[in-house]
Amino acid sequence: MIYHGVRSEPKPERVMISSSDGADFETVGSRSVPYEHVVFPTDRDAFIRLMLNDLDDSVMDRMKGFATSLGQLGLAVSMGRLVDFRARDHLRPSPENGTAPLIYPCHFQEGFVNWPAAPGKKPNAISFRAETRELMVPAGYYVLTKRFTSKEERRRVVAAIFDPRRIDAPFAGIENHLNYFHSRGKGLSPNLAKGLALYLNSTLFDKYFRLFSGHSQVNATDLRRMRYPTHEQLLRCGSHVGHRMPDQVTVDAVLERECLNNAQKGGCKAN
């Protein structure tokens, strides 16, 4: 993708967007959109959003119903603290006395963290000592997302729930290839974590994310700039998640019923 920018004053009222489905540019489509649809006036980061068709317009319109920020939810998102090659001497292939769980993307299974994984290329544990303690998080419910996904994957945003009932340990290490949602460095309530994971795994969230993210990383900064359902709506969504994340059709139906239908009645306003 090639961007060509021209500084001009004043800002144009409309922007012409041209796109092609192939490299030969034989089927180029063009559409004129308002400038504020490409760069939101309130967006301090000035993300460029390319809405190429009516479907993209629909995604944008549906996302407008979500008006809650992470800060308003009392949540934050950070990169995993543990860079494995810098802590190589402390890594262990399997859990043993004096170690803590170490979580990688390979531990994601059916919307939850499944630990430990079968012995393979990635370690399952890290030694627990003074120099590694600051790299860990206390036991609790967290929502983890993969930081690196390809545009060819079914979803760019892949989320999983860290459930402390499944992983009996006072602390855990989250590897740097993951982002994690937390509340002031600690865990979330169970239903809030489940509802947040369901929202992140929805088709709507994924399609919206793709409108402005053309690279392979899902950065914490990108996730901070997104808008979210209210606290109450996330709790309602979380009540539909049991021991595994529902299938995609069910995830999307739950989000539609608990949030999007209410949005038409003014139910998705910020707290």
**Every domain of the chain and the residues it spans:** 7-52, 70-263
Q: For the residues 203-217, what does the mean pLDDT come to?
A: 82
**Of 124, 180, 187, 123, residue with least CA distance to 147:** 180
Identify the pLDDT of residue 45: 67
pLDDT at 267 over 60: no
Amino acid at 211: L
Identify the pLDDT of residue 186: 97
Identify the pLDDT of residue 124: 97
Superfamily of 70-263 according to CATH = Adenine-n6-DNA-methyltransferase Taqi, Chain A, domain 2 (3.90.220.10)
pLDDT category at 145 given cuts 50, 70, 90 is very high
More confident residue, 214 or 100: 100
pLDDT at 50 over 60: yes
Crossing angle for the helix pair 190-200 and 248-255, nearest 10 degrees? 110
pLDDT at 19 over 80: no
pTM: 0.84
SS3 89: helix
Encode pLDDT of 102-125 as tens digits.
Answer: 999 999 999 999 999 988 889 999
Encode pLDDT of 164-196 as tens digits.
Answer: 999 999 999 999 999 999 999 999 999 999 999
Percent with pLDDT over 70 in the chain: 84
Q: What is the largest CA-CA distance in the chain?
A: 65
**Of 217, 200, 175, 201, residue with least CA distance to 87:** 175
SS3 128: coil
pLDDT at 101 over 80: yes
